[in-house]
Amino acid sequence: MATALTDIALYLHRLGHDRAPPPTLETLRALQQRHTATFPFETLSTLLHLPVPLDLPAIQHKLLHEGRGGYCYELNRVFLALLQHLGFDARGLTARVVMGGPEDELTARTHLLVLVTVDGQRHIADVGFGGMVPTAPLRLDTEDVQATPHEPYRITRHDGLHTLRALVAGEWRAMYVFDLQPQAEIDYIVGNWYVSTHPDSPFLGQLRAARTGPGWRRTLNNGSFAVHRLGHASERRSLPDADAVIAVLRDEFDIRAPDHPGLRAAIDARLRAESSSTS
């Protein structure tokens, strides 16, 4: 697997830098916030049952030249490589996603995040957790509430495990559970294979998208588009057909839909399935 970044200058430019910034906490904060606003989370490939390559040139081409985004194994994979290139002490971790279910459920390790040590303090950085992605690095070795440009988060510890929690609608909700076990390339390959091909994967045959901005989050769940603004009720609308979905991907998420002959049929099939399940 290719492990070298090939489009560093363009990648940094998209993140607001014309030259390599220093490996400081301030840089990490700026890069994480800008990354979640610039490169959207999206699962068009798994909707279409397409392979999701993890080599860095392929990910960079997808993000920088195809007008696409990706999910955690792509977004955090390339973000980790960038941080290491900039001189950060950073390595990958994997997590068990428990959002929306029992937090003690032993789910598969299907989420990639990044552990970054700056000035002797350990932080987690994550640019690939969909609609609830943290928009700032979070200190690992504290259970204090930590502010971000969006929701507050905290990391709790129990029996050697860490649980990321977010304050949503006045309730602390568990997002994912992780440990600090070192990960190798094969761990990313196996996790990505599960997410992109296993019949139990929540992304297989599904369309998800998410993006952040100043005081807002946008999410797409198949045909349900929502805008969440801090301190305000969420605005939601149902999209009637594939053309409407593709327009929202373009206008609200800055995603250029792939030129795939089965795309509209796949989207319309998801919309029909959702409509029949709620009727």
Is 119 inside any structural domain? no
Q: Indicate which residue of 111, 123, 150, 228 is catalytic.
A: 111
Is 178 inside any structural domain? no
Residue 130: DSSP 8-state: G
- 72 catalytic, yes or no? yes
Is 256 inside any structural domain? yes
Is 41 inside any structural domain? no
Task: Specify the CATH number for the domain of residue 226.
Answer: 3.30.2140.10
The candidate with the shortest Cα–Cα distance to 86, out of 136, 126, 26, is 26
Reply yes or no on whether the pLDDT at 278 is more than 70. no
Is 112 inside any structural domain? no
Reply yes or no on whether the pLDDT at 1 is more than 70. no
pLDDT in tens, 115-166: 999 999 999 999 999 999 999 999 999 999 999 999 999 999 999 999 999 9
Is 163 inside any structural domain? no
CA distance 176 to 216: 22
Confidence of residue 275 (pLDDT cuts 50, 70, 90): confident
CA distance 59 to 77: 9
pTM of the model: 0.96
Range of lowest pLDDT (211-215, 257-261, 271-275): 271-275
Report which of residues 57 and 274 the model is more confident about.
57
- 144 catalytic, yes or no? no
Q: Is 172 helix (H, G, I), strand (E, B) or coil?
A: strand
Full domain range(s) for residue 196? 190-278
Is 205 inside any structural domain? yes
Q: Indicate which residue of 35, 72, 123, 162 is catalytic.
A: 72
- 126 catalytic, yes or no? yes
Q: Indicate which residue of 35, 123, 126, 228 is catalytic.
A: 126
Is 233 inside any structural domain? yes
**What average pLDDT does range 248-270 have in this prediction?**
97
For the chain, what is the domain count? 1
Reply yes or no on whether the pLDDT at 3 is more than 90. no
pLDDT for res 279: 57
Average pLDDT, the chain: 96
Confidence of residue 58 (pLDDT cuts 50, 70, 90): very high
Please report, as a single letter, which amino acid is at residue 59: I
